[in-house]
Amino acid sequence: MNMIDAWRLQISAVADILNWRNDSKQAKEKNAISNILGISPFIGGCLYNSSGELLGWDGIKDHDDCVFVGEFTLPLSVSINVLTTSYSYTNKVKNVTKKAGLKNRELNIRSVLSTIKKAEAGYVGKYALDYNAWNRGRTFTDKKYKDCPEDYRCHPGLLKLSENDEGRSAAGAYQFLEKYYKEIDFSPQSQDKGAIKLMKEHGVFDLAARGDFALFQTKASNIWTSFKAQKWQNHELEKVFKVYRSNELSGLSDIETPIGKLLEI
């Protein structure tokens, strides 16, 4: 049970004792939780710490509404007077004031995309792949899309290192094979779009959107085989996912599609 759930149980128990009407019980819970958290009573959504870990969900509004970031002080104790319906608390949560500016589902999708780029890079310590990546450590252009869109007009095709090399076509941030890539060009935003379409086609998009990365890694390993690598077992890639989620919460993103657009795909 997380912290928010524990607080909700305490407050809900008091509500039951006082026989609050159902239509007002939720509002009273909401105000109580919000005061304990030190945030506006009209805010709902998900609470993360700066390390990208989900600390709790208020359980009142849609899980997708708002994302807040803060550092928490533990332990937190709550004392509720069942006669006056008043409550007091110690070690109040601090710094829960920053709204992340994106919905929870998009936060997780963007973090998953960055994690795929990292996994496809090939080995621990290497930077995540950029949108100009080809395969075997090569790039199909040394220019960014903004500097030379022409270099991204289509999938670059096979990379052959010699005459006898059959070649490999994996390319881009998500290592698309040429025969499966269907977007209109190979721009960064088209690559993001292509990756999300793959998730939807293989039934793993919702896992990514809700941040269930461990299960996503298992189910999506037939799409991105790098997920099967030994170095990414024992939740190592899940740790990478939380780092990228922390980056997104801090406004640091390596995903080219602007915030607010990914969920429209």
The pLDDT tens digits of the residues spanning 97-117 come to 467 788 889 999 999 999 999
The pLDDT tens digits of the residues spanning 190-226 come to 999 999 999 999 999 999 999 999 999 999 999 999 9
- Between CA 152 and CA 180 the distance in angstroms is 17
The whole-model pTM stands at: 0.75
**227 and 202 in contact (C-beta within 8 Å)?**
no
- Show the beta-strand stretches assigned E in the chain: 46-48, 54-57, 67-71, 77-81, 86-90, 94-99
Residue 50 confidence (pLDDT)? 80
Residue 73 confidence (pLDDT)? 43
Q: Which one, of 68, 109, 120, lies nearest residue 245 by Cα?
A: 109
Tell me if the bond preceding 75 is cis, omega within 30° of 0: yes
The answer on pLDDT for 230 being more than 60 is: yes
Whether domain 105-264 has CATH 1.10.530.10: yes
Q: Residue 227 is encoded by which pair of tokens?
A: 């997920």
Q: pLDDT band for 15, please (50, 70, 90 cuts).
A: very low
Q: pLDDT band for 25, please (50, 70, 90 cuts).
A: low
Residue 45 confidence (pLDDT)? 66
Residue 229 confidence (pLDDT)? 86
The pLDDT tens digits of the residues spanning 29-66 come to 555 555 544 444 434 567 787 888 887 665 555 545 56
- The CA radius of gyration of the chain, in Å to the nearest whole number, is 23
Residue 81 confidence (pLDDT)? 46
The answer on pLDDT for 13 being more than 80 is: no
**Cα–Cα–Cα angle for 148, 154, 158, nearest 5°?**
110
Domain ranges (residues) in the chain: 3-100, 105-264
